[in-house]
Amino acid sequence: MLHARMLSYLDEVARCGSIRKAAANLNVASTAINRQIIALEQELGENIFERMPRRLRLTATGEVLIEHVRETLKSYDRTRGRLDALKGTKQGHITIATTLGFAAGPIAKILYDYTNEHPYIRVSLQGLFADGIPNAVLSGDVDLGLGLNLQPNPKLRTLFGIDVPFGAVVAPGHPLAKKEKIRLSEAAAYPLVLAEPRMSLRTVVDMALARISVTSKPIVETNSIELMKQFVQLGHAVTFLNPLDVAEDRLTGRLRYLPIGESQTQSLKLVARQKGTIDPATSRFVEHLKRSLTKLTEADA
């Protein structure tokens, strides 16, 4: 019923919400796409898209169909990857979404090491807020989602999970910097630079502070991990991050990471769609990612 060209047409129109935009992206005539969609709707006896004044929106039938379309396209890509592997090219395309903090932190070195070992692998990475990661995986935009404190979803499966502590991060000259471990109340006594409320880390930090009857009143809130790190380097402010966020900064001596005496952890998970298989290139990357993150985390145990 659906041939390869029609699959790509439907997928692009669903993403754009417009036949005209999809046609421009695919470099084909909009009339050709519209004609095929109308023919398919007549064959199904149902509308795939609801025609609204400014955009097209998937109907219930369209939602079911587009899920099949995207699974088919992904399956085709995986099959091509397996065929390439059989030919010895070891090619592949890894698509992953992760949090803004991870995108700005340890992922760069992990990807660098992996692509050095597998030079024919392409990687597409999206940095998102944690609540956007499951949708990116479920929609088929990416195959993998890596994030902290991801909410359970029956349509997703967990490929691996790691408990990651969070601690205080200070400048080398900070009064707390010489300590090996501190109490949360000690860190809270200094000016705080915190992740903004939409970030999962902020929720965990606020809950931990509430348990010691402290209400967070940060002098700076931001969704930029880099800004948080740079700000604390300049004075006596304290921020809260996990050891993965500051791995390189600690090696160079730019920052000090201080474990907190009270047990404070976040759950780091790598997820994929419940249905479907993972191609060989992505599977090898999953193992590399797990080893790398476990090594970085255990160094702070």
* Residue 93: strand, helix, or coil: strand
Domain end call among 68, 103, 119 = 68
- Please give the residue range of the domain that contains residue 19: 4-68
Average pLDDT over residues 217-223: 92
Distance CA 169, CA 160 (A): 27
Q: How many domains in the chain?
A: 3
Residues 23-72 pLDDT 10s? 888 888 888 888 888 988 898 899 999 988 888 999 999 899 988 888 88
> What secondary structure letter does DSSP report for 260?
B
pLDDT at 172: 95
In terms of Cβ atoms closer than 10 Å to its own Cβ (0-12, 13-18, 19+), residue 4 is: exposed
pLDDT at 81: 65
Residues 78-133 pLDDT 10s? 777 666 655 544 567 899 999 877 887 788 889 999 998 888 888 999 988 888 99
Q: Please check whether residue 77 lies inside any domain of the structure.
A: no
Q: Report helix, strand and coil shares of the chain as percent, to nearest 5.
A: 45, 20, 35
Residues 244, 207 share a domain: yes
CATH number at 139 reads 3.40.190.10
Q: Please check whether residue 86 lies inside any domain of the structure.
A: no
Report if pTM > 0.85: no
Q: Strands (DSSP E) along 216-255, which ranges?
A: 220-222, 238-241
* Residue 195 and residue 233 in contact, taking contact as beta carbons nearer than 8 Å: no
* Residue 172 and residue 235 in contact, taking contact as beta carbons nearer than 8 Å: no
61: number of Cβ within 10 Å: 15
Residues 130-152 pLDDT 10s? 889 999 999 888 999 999 888 88
